[in-house]
């Protein structure tokens, strides 16, 4: 069977007891980036295990071996951070398991989008998660308008290289929305910037456009 195991998004202590237990019990681990996950596995003394890579660049090549192994053994899927499959590799493996009659169980835990939403102060009753923000102004504004039309808080991930540009688009098209930028969640420099997009832009240009970001937009 396959366990889909969420791991911390920064703070190593955000690892659930079940996640540790599952990784210890699994016959093998499937990691997005085995080098990156080594620190986590060492920290929790998850002994020497066979680790297979399942990343965007090798998904198709890796699938047949993984499916063959999962038919007779237990595997645990992890990514570099957070919940596998959420803007991360995983979905194709899970779908292939479904198609091959392999049992799948989630081991829930951190995800940056949900952590950001939970502490944002924006409406949580309905939300639209975009994954990484569309890169073009037209696609971004179209999808945020959709979120506005269905009265949802819009959540997306953004890179430090694009955060300013993306907020400029939002300030231009939705100057009156409520925006929250959640930065470096669960880490030493965690912070929430809240306000109109233009106010957040002012704060961000003061040398804070570094790290990992989740952005939230609401109209109510």
Q: Which residues contact ligand SAM (rule: CB under 6 A)?
A: 9-10, 79, 81-83, 86-88, 111-113, 157-159, 182, 184-187, 212-214
CB of 160 to ligand SAM, least distance (A): 8
By Cβ distance, which residue is nearest to ligand SAM? 82
With a CB cutoff of 8 Å and minimum separation 6, the contacts of 108 are: 6, 16, 83
- The secondary element (H helix, E strand) that includes residue 23 is helix 17-25
Cβ at position 93, least distance to ligand SAM in Å = 14
Q: How far is the CB of 115 from ligand SAM (least distance, A)?
A: 7
Between helices 163-173 and 197-205, what is the axis angle to 10°?
Answer: 150
CB of 38 to ligand SAM, least distance (A): 18
Pick the closer one to ligand SAM by CB: 86 or 167: 86
CA–CA distance, 192 with 210 (Å, rounded to integer)? 13
Copy the structure tokens of residue 184: 């470096």
| Minimum distance from residue 68 beta carbon to ligand SAM (Å) | 26
Is the Cβ of residue 59 or residue 184 nearer to ligand SAM in the bound state? 184
Nearer to ligand SAM, 124 or 159 (CB): 159
The residue (of 69 and 143) whose beta carbon lies closer to ligand SAM is 143
Minimum CB separation of residue 14 from ligand SAM in Å reads 10
Is residue 37 within 8 Å of 80, Cβ to Cβ? yes
* β-strands 50-53, 75-78 pairing: unpaired
Which of 69, 80 has the CB closer to ligand SAM? Answer: 80
Q: Between 12 and 68, name the residue whose CB sits nearer to ligand SAM.
A: 12
The DSSP secondary structure of 163-213, one letter per residue, reads HHHHHHHHHHH-TTSEEEEEESTTSTT-EEEEE-HHHHHHHHHTTT--S-E
Residue 100: DSSP 8-state: T
């Amino acid at each position: 069977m396959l366990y889909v195991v969420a791991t911390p998004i920064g703070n190593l202590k955000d690892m659930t007891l079940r996640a540790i237990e599952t990784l210890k019990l699994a016959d093998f681990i499937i990691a997005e980036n085995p080098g990156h996950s080594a620190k986590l596995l060492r920290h929790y003394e998850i002994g020497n295990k066979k680790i297979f890579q399942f990343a965007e660049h090798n998904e198709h090549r890796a699938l047949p071996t993984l499916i063959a192994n999962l038919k007779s053994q237990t595997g645990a899927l992890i990514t570099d951070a957070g919940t596998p499959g959420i803007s991360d590799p995983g979905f194709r493996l899970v779908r292939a398991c479904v198609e091959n009659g392999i049992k799948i169980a989630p081991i829930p835990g951190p995800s940056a989008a949900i952590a950001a939403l939970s502490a944002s102060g924006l409406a949580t009753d309905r939300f639209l998660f975009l994954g990484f923000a569309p890169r073009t102004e037209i696609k971004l504004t179209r999808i945020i308008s959709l979120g506005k039309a269905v009265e949802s808080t819009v959540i997306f991930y953004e890179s430090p290289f694009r955060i300013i540009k993306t907020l400029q688009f939002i300030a231009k098209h939705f100057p009156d929305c409520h925006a929250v930028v959640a930065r470096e969640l669960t880490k030493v420099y965690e912070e929430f910037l809240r306000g109109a997009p233009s106010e957040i832009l002012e704060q961000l240009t003061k040398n804070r456009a570094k790290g990992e970001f989740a952005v939230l937009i609401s109209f109510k």
